[in-house]
Amino acid sequence: MHTTLRIRRFNPEHEHPSSYYQEYDLDVDPADSVLDGLIKIRETVDDSLTLRCSCRGAICGSCGMRINGHATLACKTKMISVASEGETIQVEPMHNMPVIKDLVTDMAPFWSKIRQVQPWLQPQGPPPATEYTAPPESMTHLSGVMSCIMCGACVSDCTVLEVDKNFIGPAALAKAYRFVADPRDAATSQRLEVLNQYGGMWDCTRCMECIQVCPKGVAPMDRIMSLRAQGMVEKIPSTCGSRHAEVFTDIIKHKGMLDEPMLAVRTFGLKHVGRLLGMIPMMAQSLLKGKVPLSGPLHRAVPGIQQIQRLFKRVRTKP
Amino acid sequence: MTSSPYYDVLVIGAGLAGMRAAIAAHEEGATVALLTKVHPVRSHSNAAQGGINAALTDRGDHWEDHAFETVKGSDYLGDQDAVEILAQEAGQDIIALEHMGVIFNRNEEGRLGTRRFGGQKRARTFFVSDFTGQAMLHVLYEQIMQAKISVYEEWFVTSLAKDDHGGCAGVVAFEIRSGTFALFPAKAVIMASGGLGRVYEPSTNALICTGDGMAVAYRAGAPLMDMEMVQYHPTTLKGKGLLITEAARGEGAYLLNSKSERFMERYAPNMLELASRDVVSRAEQIEINEGRGIKGCVLLDCRHLGRQILQERLGQIYAEAKTFANVDLAEEPLPIRPGMHYQMGGIKTDTEGRCWDVQGQWKGLPGLFAAGETACISLHGGNRLGANSLLDTVVFGRRAGTCAAEYAKTLPTLPISDTAIEPDRQLVRTIASRQGQGDRAAALRLEMGTTMNRYVSVFREQEGLETASHRINDLKARWPGITIQDKGQVFNTGLVAALELGFMLDCAETIIVGALTRTESRGTHFRTDYLNRDDEQWLKHVLLYHTPDGPPHVEYLPVRITQWQPQIRVY
Indicate whether B96 belongs to any domain. Answer: yes
Nearest to B35 by CA among B12, B16, B15, B19: B12
* Average pLDDT of chain A, as a whole number: 94
Whether the CB-CB separation of B524 and B344 falls below 8 Å is answered with yes
- Gyration radius (Cα) of chain B, Å: 22
Spell out the residues 6+ positions from residue B543 whose beta carbon is closer than 8 angstroms to its own. B223, B224, B225, B348, B362, B554, B555, B556, B557
Kind of pairing, strands B181-191 and B7-12? parallel
Taking an 8 Å cut-off on Cβ atoms, the answer to whether B105 and A136 are in contact is: yes
Whether the CB-CB separation of B156 and B496 falls below 8 Å is answered with yes
Has residue A6 got a pLDDT over 90? yes
Average pLDDT over residues B254-263: 96
Residue A27: count of CB within 10 angstroms of its CB: 8
Asked if residue B260 and residue B171 are part of one domain, the reply reads no
Taking an 8 Å cut-off on Cβ atoms, the answer to whether B312 and A140 are in contact is: yes
Asked if residue B102 and residue B181 are part of one domain, the reply reads yes
C-alpha distance from A256 to closest chain B C-alpha (Å): 41
In this prediction, residue B475 carries a pLDDT of 98
- The domain locations on chain A are 2-105, 108-233, 240-317
Residue A117: count of CB within 10 angstroms of its CB: 22
Taking an 8 Å cut-off on Cβ atoms, the answer to whether B134 and A50 are in contact is: no
Indicate whether B25 belongs to any domain. Answer: yes
* B window 149-188, beta carbon within 8 A of A: 177
Asked if residue B348 and residue B374 are part of one domain, the reply reads yes
Spell out the residues 6+ positions from residue B1 whose beta carbon is closer than 8 angstroms to its own. B180, B182
Has residue A261 got a pLDDT over 90? no
Four-point Cα dihedral B16, B22, B26, B28, nearest 10: 90
Q: What percent of chain B has pLDDT over 70?
A: 100
Whether the CB-CB separation of B45 and B347 falls below 8 Å is answered with no
Q: Is the ipTM of this complex over 0.90?
A: yes
Q: DSSP label at B565?
A: -
Average pLDDT over residues A247-255: 92
CATH number, domain at B54?
3.50.50.60
Asked if residue B348 and residue B334 are part of one domain, the reply reads no
Asked if residue B270 and residue B367 are part of one domain, the reply reads no
Asked if residue B535 and residue B430 are part of one domain, the reply reads yes
* Domain termination site, one of B354, B388, B418: B418
Quickly list H helices, B301-386: 306-313, 315-325
Give the span between the Cα atoms of B25 and B6, in whole angstroms.
15
In this prediction, residue B164 carries a pLDDT of 87
Residue A6: count of CB within 10 angstroms of its CB: 15
Give the span between the Cα atoms of A92 and A63, in whole angstroms.
11
Asked if residue B239 and residue B219 are part of one domain, the reply reads no
Asked if residue B434 and residue B535 are part of one domain, the reply reads yes
Q: Concatenated DSSP letters for B473-505?
A: HHHHHHGGG---S---STT-HHHHHHHHHHHHH
How far, in Å, are A246, B35, B141, B156 from residue B152 at the CA level? 47, 5, 13, 10
For residue A291, what pLDDT band results from cuts at 50, 70 and 90? confident
Whether the CB-CB separation of A69 and A93 falls below 8 Å is answered with no
Q: Which residues of B touch A46 (CB under 8 A)?
A: 485
Q: Which residues of B touch A119 (CB under 8 A)?
A: 142, 145
Whether the CB-CB separation of B358 and B205 falls below 8 Å is answered with no
Indicate whether B438 belongs to any domain. Answer: yes
Average pLDDT over residues B491-500: 97
Kind of pairing, strands B298-301 and B334-343? antiparallel
In this prediction, residue A236 carries a pLDDT of 80
In this prediction, residue B399 carries a pLDDT of 98
Task: Give first-to-last CA distance, chain A, whole Å.
Answer: 53
Has residue B186 got a pLDDT over 70? yes
Q: Which residues of A touch B440 (CB under 8 A)?
A: 43-44, 47
Over the stretch B322-341, which tens digit does the pLDDT of each residue have? 988 999 999 999 999 999 99
Asked if residue B326 and residue B369 are part of one domain, the reply reads no
Q: What percent of chain A has pLDDT over 90?
A: 79
Partners of residue B544 on adjacent β-strands = B224, B554
Over the stretch B31-71, which tens digit does the pLDDT of each residue have? 999 999 999 999 999 999 889 999 998 889 999 999 999 99
C-alpha distance from B487 to closest chain A C-alpha (Å): 8
Give the span between the Cα atoms of A37 and A46, in whole angstroms.
12
The residue of B94, B97, B99, B437 whose CB has the most chain A CBs within 10 angstroms, and thus the best one to mutate to test that interface, is B99
Asked if residue B435 and residue B398 are part of one domain, the reply reads no
Has residue B188 got a pLDDT over 80? yes
C-alpha distance from A237 to closest chain B C-alpha (Å): 27
Asked if residue B192 and residue B112 are part of one domain, the reply reads yes
Taking an 8 Å cut-off on Cβ atoms, the answer to whether A100 and B177 are in contact is: yes
Query: Inter-axis angle of helices B441-455 and B462-478, to 10 degrees?
Result: 170
How many beta-carbon pairs under 8 angstroms link A with B?
162
Establish if B327 touches chain A: CB-CB under 8 angstroms.
no
For residue B266, what pLDDT band results from cuts at 50, 70 and 90? very high
Indicate whether B92 belongs to any domain. Answer: yes
Catalytic residue among B20, B115, B124, B277: B277
Has residue A318 got a pLDDT over 70? no
* Angle A27-A31-A36 from CA coordinates, rounded to 5°: 65
Partners of residue B114 on adjacent β-strands = B126
Q: DSSP label at B289?
A: H
In this prediction, residue B170 carries a pLDDT of 96
CB neighbour class for B430 (10 Å; exposed up to 12, middle 13-18, buried from 19) = exposed
In this prediction, residue B1 carries a pLDDT of 63
Is B434 labeled as catalytic in the residue annotation?
A: no
Give the span between the Cα atoms of B170 and B167, in whole angstroms.
9
Specify the long-range contacts of residues B359-365, CB closer than 8 Å, at least 24 apart.
B361/B557, B362/B223, B362/B543, B362/B555, B362/B557, B363/B221, B363/B223, B363/B545, B364/B221, B364/B222, B364/B223, B365/B160, B365/B166, B365/B167, B365/B168, B365/B217, B365/B220, B365/B221, B365/B222
Taking an 8 Å cut-off on Cβ atoms, the answer to whether B440 and A57 are in contact is: no
* Average pLDDT of chain B, as a whole number: 96
Taking an 8 Å cut-off on Cβ atoms, the answer to whether A59 and B316 are in contact is: yes
How far, in Å, are B17, B189, B195, B231 from residue B399 at the CA level? 10, 14, 19, 25
Taking an 8 Å cut-off on Cβ atoms, the answer to whether B208 and A146 are in contact is: no
Establish if B104 touches chain A: CB-CB under 8 angstroms.
yes
pTM above 0.90, yes or no: yes
C-alpha distance from B366 to closest chain A C-alpha (Å): 33
Over the stretch A189-247, which tens digit does the pLDDT of each residue have? 999 999 999 999 999 999 999 999 999 999 999 999 999 999 998 878 778 888 898 99
* Domain termination site, one of B312, B338, B364: B338
Indicate whether B546 belongs to any domain. Answer: no
Minimum mean pLDDT among A147-156, A298-307, B461-470: which range?
A298-307
Q: Which residues of A touch B207 (CB under 8 A)?
A: 53-56
Q: Which residues of A touch B142 (CB under 8 A)?
A: 119-121
Has residue A18 got a pLDDT over 80? yes
Give the span between the Cα atoms of B260 and B526, in whole angstroms.
27
Indicate whether B551 belongs to any domain. Answer: no
* Domain termination site, one of B310, B338, B366: B338
Over the stretch B110-150, which tens digit does the pLDDT of each residue have? 999 998 888 888 999 999 988 999 999 999 999 999 999 99
Indicate whether B569 belongs to any domain. Answer: no
Quote the domain boundaries for residue B277.
235-338
Taking an 8 Å cut-off on Cβ atoms, the answer to whether A134 and B320 are in contact is: no
In this prediction, residue A317 carries a pLDDT of 81
CATH number, domain at B464?
1.20.58.100
CB neighbour class for B95 (10 Å; exposed up to 12, middle 13-18, buried from 19) = buried
Give the span between the Cα atoms of B338 and B277, in whole angstroms.
9
Average pLDDT over residues A147-162: 98
C-alpha distance from B34 to closest chain A C-alpha (Å): 16
Establish if B138 touches chain A: CB-CB under 8 angstroms.
yes
Q: What is the CATH number of domain A2-105?
A: 3.10.20.30
> Domain count of chain B?
3
Has residue A131 got a pLDDT over 90? yes
Which CATH number is correct for A108-233, 3.30.70.3420, 3.30.56.10, 3.40.250.10, 1.10.1060.10? Answer: 1.10.1060.10
In this prediction, residue A319 carries a pLDDT of 59
Average pLDDT over residues B383-412: 97
Average pLDDT over residues A176-195: 96
CA B20 from chain centre, in angstroms, equals 16
Indicate whether B209 belongs to any domain. Answer: yes
For residue B28, what pLDDT band results from cuts at 50, 70 and 90? very high
The residue of A54, A62, A116 whose CB has the most chain B CBs within 10 angstroms, and thus the best one to mutate to test that interface, is A54
Asked if residue B432 and residue B414 are part of one domain, the reply reads no
Average pLDDT over residues B405-426: 90
CB neighbour class for A138 (10 Å; exposed up to 12, middle 13-18, buried from 19) = middle
